[in-house]
A and B are shown apart, each in its own frame.
Chain A
Amino acid sequence: MSKARRNPVNMIAAHAILITYTLIALFPVFVILINSFKNRKSIFREPLALPDADSFSLVGYQTVLKQGDFFLYFQNSMIVTVVSLFLVLLFGAMAAFALAEYRFKGNTLMGLYLALGIMIPIRIGTVAILEMMVQTGLVNTLWALILVYTAQGLPLAVFILSEFMRQVSDDLKDAGRIDGLSEYTIFFRLVLPLVRPAMATVAVFNMIPIWNDLWFPLILAPAEESKTLTLGSQVFIGQFVTDWNAVLSALSMAILPVMILYVIFSRQLIRGITSGAVK
Chain B
Amino acid sequence: MTALTLTNISKSFGQVEVLKNISLTVEPGEFVVFVGPSGCGKSTLLRLIAGLEDASSGEVQIDGNPVNNLPPAKRGIAMVFQSYALYPHLTVRGNMALGLKQAGKPKAEIDDRIAKASGMLAMQDLLDRRPAELSGGQRQRVAIGRAIVREPKLFLFDEPLSNLDAALRMATRIEIARLHRTLGASMIYVTHDQTEAMTLADKIVVLNDGLVEQVGTPMQLYNDPANKFVAGFLGAPSMNFVPGKQVGFPDVHVLGIRPEHLRITQNGRISGQVIYVENLGGDTNVMVETVDELQVIVRLFGQHDIASDTKIQLDFDDIHGFHFDADGNRIRN
**Counting CB contacts under 8 A, is A28 at the interface?**
no
B85–A169 touching, CB < 8 Å: yes
- The reply on A131 being an interface residue by CB < 8 A is no
Stretch from A33-41, A172-180, A255-263 contacting the other chain: A172-180
Q: Give the interface SS of chain A, mostly helix, strand, loop or mixed.
A: helix
| Residues B99 and A169 in contact, CB atoms below 8 Å apart | no
Contact B81 A180 (CB under 8 A): no
Contact of A204 with B by CB under 8 A:
no
Q: Does B55 contact A (CB under 8 A)?
A: no
Report the Cα distance A172→B71, complex, angstroms: 16
Which parts of A154-209 form the interface with B (CB within 8 Å)?
169, 171-172, 174-181, 189-190, 193-194
* Cβ-defined contact, A178 with B87, below 8 A: no
Which residues of chain A are within 8 angstroms of B79 by Cβ–Cβ distance?
174-175, 178
Count CB-based A-B contacts (< 8 Å): 57
Residues A177 and B83 in contact, CB atoms below 8 Å apart? no
Binary interface encoding of chain B residues 48-74 relative to chain A, with 1 for a CB under 8 A from any of its CBs, else 0:
001110000000000000000001111
Does any Cβ of A come within 8 Å of B126's Cβ? no
The count of residues in chain A whose C-beta lies closer than 8 Å to any C-beta of chain B is: 15
Q: Is the CB of B87 within 8 A of A174?
A: no
Are B82 and A171 in contact, with the CB atoms below 8 A? yes
In the complex, the answer to whether B73 meets A174 with C-beta atoms within 8 Å is no
Interface residues of B in 100-152 (CB under 8 A from A): 102-103, 146
A172, A177, A180: the one contacting B87 at CB < 8 Å is A172
Enumerate chain B residues within 8 angstroms of A177, measured Cβ to Cβ.
51-52, 71-73
**A171 interface neighbour in B72, B83, B89, B98, Cβ under 8 Å:** B83
In the bound complex, what is the Cα–Cα distance between A194 and B90 (angstroms)? 13
Inter-subunit contact A178/B83 (CB<8 Å):
no
Question: Once the chains bind, are B85 and A171 in contact (CB under 8 Å)?
Answer: yes
Residue of B nearest to A175 (CB): B85
Q: Nearest chain-A residue to B103 (Cβ)?
A: A180
Q: Is B18 an interface residue (CB 8 A)?
A: no
Complex contacts, A194 vs chain B, CB 8 Å: 88
| Nearest-Cβ distance from residue A191 to partner chain B, whole angstroms | 11
How many residues in B have their beta carbons less than 8 Å from beta carbons of A? 26
Whether a CB of chain A sits under 8 angstroms from the CB of B77 is yes
A190 touching B87 in the complex, CB below 8 Å, given contacts A178-B73, A179-B73: yes
Q: From B152, which residue of chain A is reached at the shortest CB distance?
A: A178
Which residues of A have CB within 8 Å of B87?
172, 175-176, 190
Please name all residues of chain A whose beta carbon is closer than 8 Å to the beta carbon of B52 when the two chains form the complex: 174, 177-178
Complex contacts, B72 vs chain A, CB 8 Å: 174, 177-178, 180
Give Cα distance in the complex from A178 to B156, angstroms: 11
Check B78 for interface membership: any CB of A closer than 8 A: yes
Q: How far is the CB of B104 from chain A (nearest CB, A)?
A: 9
Q: Given the complex, which residues of B lie within 8 Å of A190, measured CB to CB? A: 87
In whole angstroms, what is the CA distance A177 to B75 when docked? 11
> What is the chain B residue whose CB lies nearest that of A173?
B85
CB A190 to nearest CB in B, in angstroms, measures 7
**Smallest CB-CB separation from B78: which chain A residue?**
A178
CA distance A174 to B47 in the complex (A): 9
Chain B residues near A193 (CB-CB < 8 A):
88-89
Could you tell me the distance in whole angstroms from the C-beta of B249 to the nearest C-beta in chain A?
49
Residues on B with beta carbons closer than 8 Å to the beta carbon of A171? 81-85, 158
* Bound CA–CA A193/B131 (angstroms): 15
B99 near A178: Cβ-Cβ < 8 Å: yes
Q: B83 to A169, Cβ gap below 8 A?
A: yes
B289-300 near A? 1/0 per residue, CB < 8 Å: 000000000000
B47 to chain A: which residues have CB within 8 Å? Answer: 174
A265 smallest CB distance to B (angstroms)? 20
* CB within 8 Å for A180 and B82 given contacts A174-B52, A193-B89, A194-B88: no
Q: Indicate if the CB atoms of A174 and B103 lie closer than 8 Å.
A: no
For B73, the chain A residues whose CB sits under 8 A away are 177-180
Chain B residues closer than 8 Å to A181, beta-carbon distance: 98, 102
CB neighbours (8 Å) of A172 from chain B are: 83, 85-87
**Chain B residues whose CB sits within 8 angstroms of the CB of A176 once the complex forms:** 87
- In the complex, the chain A residue whose C-beta lies closest to that of B158 is A171
Contacts A174-B52, A193-B89, A194-B88: A179 and B83 contacting too (C-beta < 8 A)? no
Which residues of chain B are near A180, meaning CB under 8 Å?
71-74, 99, 102-103
Which B residues are in CB contact (< 8 Å) with A179? 73, 98-99, 102
Min CB–CB distance B243 → chain A (angstroms): 45
Give 19 A-B contacts (CB < 8 Å), ordered by A residue: A169-B85, A172-B87, A174-B85, A175-B146, A177-B52, A177-B72, A178-B52, A178-B72, A178-B73, A178-B77, A178-B79, A179-B98, A179-B102, A180-B71, A180-B74, A180-B102, A189-B89, A190-B87, A194-B88
Question: Which residues of A are interface residues toward B (Cβ below 8 A)?
Answer: 169, 171-172, 174-181, 189-190, 193-194
B residues with a Cβ closer than 8 A to A are 47, 50-52, 71-74, 77-79, 81-89, 98-99, 102-103, 146, 158
Give 7 A-B pairs besides A169-B85, A176-B87 with Cβ atoms closer than 8 angstroms: A171-B83, A172-B83, A177-B72, A179-B98, A180-B72, A193-B88, A193-B89
